[in-house]
Amino acid sequence: MPRQTATSSASGRTRRRGPSMADVAREAGVSGQTVSRVANGKTNVDDATRERVLAAMRRVGYRPNSAARALRNGRFRSIGVIISALPTFGNSRTLDAIAAAVVPEGFSIVLMPVARPTQGEVTGAFSTLNEQAVDGVIILIEQHQLDQSEIELPHGLPVVVIDSSARYDYPVVDNDQADGAARATGHLLDLGHETVWHIAGPPQSYSAERRRKSWQATLERAGRVVPPVFPGDWSPESGYQAGLRLAADPAVTAVFVANDQMALGLLRALHETGRAVPAEVSVVGFDDMEESAHFWPPLTTIRQSFEAVGRHAVEALLAEIETGAEAGEPVTLPTELVIRSSTAPPP
């Protein structure tokens, strides 16, 4: 008596498993191994046989079982992405780029969102990722305290970190935050502004810190006074709040904002208080979101290539997975100054 066959018949109750190689083999009148060979595109199969097997596969609706495959050869052909703040502009763009880079390689992506980027959550994500369900991990966490000493790296799982800190043992890929901030600040200085004010991102963020430090260094290099930093948290609201205070100070003629969203908030504050942009105050953002070109006025900003970041991260991870290559030099991608209408010489 045949054991429960995987018909697509009515009942529907049973958890049906798809047809296996054995089913195909029976149908095609060959051994399971030959089916395996065909499924994996091995060359040492007679053309006629191959055709027969392929036909049989189609007939029974065969799909390889990835679990069995993974169990057999210890590879999953999938990578995990540990991500905080997913809907964030940069993160979603980067994730998309990672996805795009990974799919042609035949890998799939397992998403591991962490609600908050705490030590425990990240380590937890690692565990949940189970060390066994993926071949490697990309960590895409914006603000964190990932000291390499604290994070528990599970047995030799390849890891790539997208971040500007170079303090990791793992390969690091990121946009060149310092370069971008220097361009932004330099642009304003070049226009003739005496100095440049700064609305910063949250201090837990390495990116934010890098931008702030580079802004400061650029100012110091030019021998300008370094105004106090206005702290923000990336949100438009925080940019607005900082902007309200900035707008009240007539000495302010140029502001470098750590991201475009906060720049939007600043623009609103400037409008509300009647300070003309760029006639009275110049503004430079960071990110170049799609919206920025349509802010009022259109925003001068620093464009980052999230696509390139994602691509390089995948490349590095896949290399680690394939060859066991150790971390090389951190990859730092150049940024680009996009000049629009929010900057002008000082009044």
Partner DNA sequence: CGGCGAGATGTTTACGTCAACATGGGACGG
Partner DNA sequence: CCGTCCCATGTTGACGTAAACATCTCGCCG
Phi, psi (rounded to 5 degrees) for 260: -70, -35
Residue spans of beta strands (DSSP E) within 23-107: 78-83
Report the partner that residue 30 touches, choosing among a copy of itself, DNA, none (CB closer than 5 to 8 A by kind). Answer: DNA
> What is the widest separation between alpha-carbon atoms in the chain?
92
Question: Residue 97 corresponds to which amino acid?
Answer: A
Give me the least distance between CB of 145 and a copy of itself, in Å please: 22
Report the partner that residue 5 touches, choosing among a copy of itself, DNA, none (CB closer than 5 to 8 A by kind). Answer: none
Using CB under 8 A as the binding rule, the residues of this chain from 203 to 242 that contact a copy of itself are 235-237, 239-240
Report the partner that residue 211 touches, choosing among a copy of itself, DNA, none (CB closer than 5 to 8 A by kind). Answer: none
Please name the helix (run of DSSP H) or strand (run of DSSP E) that holds residue 268, with its range, or none: helix 260-272
Q: Which of 22, 31, 42, 61 binds a copy of itself (CB under 8 A)?
A: 61
Residue spans of beta strands (DSSP E) within 171-324: 172-175, 197-200, 229-231, 254-257, 282-284, 301-303
Note whether 293 and 299 are within 8 A (CB): yes
Residue spans of beta strands (DSSP E) within the chain: 78-83, 108-113, 136-140, 159-162, 172-175, 197-200, 229-231, 254-257, 282-284, 301-303, 331-333, 336-338
3 near a copy of itself (CB under 8 A): no
Note whether 265 and 280 are within 8 A (CB): no
Note whether 76 and 58 are within 8 A (CB): no
**Binding region for DNA (CB under 7 A) out of 27-35, 200-208, 293-301, 316-324:** 27-35
5 near DNA (CB under 7 A): no
Site mask for a copy of itself (CB under 8 A), range 17-56, x = bound: xx--------------------------------------
Report the partner that residue 165 touches, choosing among a copy of itself, DNA, none (CB closer than 5 to 8 A by kind). Answer: none
Please name the helix (run of DSSP H) or strand (run of DSSP E) that holds residue 72, with its range, or none: helix 66-73
**Binding region for DNA (CB under 7 A) out of 21-29, 88-96, 262-270, 275-283:** 21-29
Token pair of 195, please? Answer: 């100095």
99 near a copy of itself (CB under 8 A): yes
Distance CA 344, CA 347 (A): 9
Question: Residue 91 corresponds to which amino acid?
Answer: N
**Binding region for DNA (CB under 7 A) out of 25-33, 239-247, 269-277, 304-312:** 25-33
Question: Residue 63 corresponds to which amino acid?
Answer: R
55/71 with CB nearer a copy of itself: 71
Secondary structure in 3-state letters for 50-62: HHHHHHHHHHHCC
Note whether 335 and 180 are within 8 A (CB): yes
319 near a copy of itself (CB under 8 A): no
Site mask for DNA (CB under 7 A), range 65-94, x = bound: x--xx-xxx---------------------
Q: Applying CB under 8 A, which residues contact a copy of itself? A: 6, 8, 12-13, 15-18, 61, 63-68, 70-71, 74, 76, 78, 86-87, 89, 92-93, 95-96, 99-100, 103, 108-113, 115, 127-133, 154-156, 235-237, 239-240, 261, 264-265, 267-268, 271, 290-291, 293-296, 298, 324
Q: Applying CB under 7 A, which residues contact DNA? A: 3, 17-18, 20-22, 29-34, 36-37, 39-40, 43-46, 48-50, 64-65, 68-69, 71-73
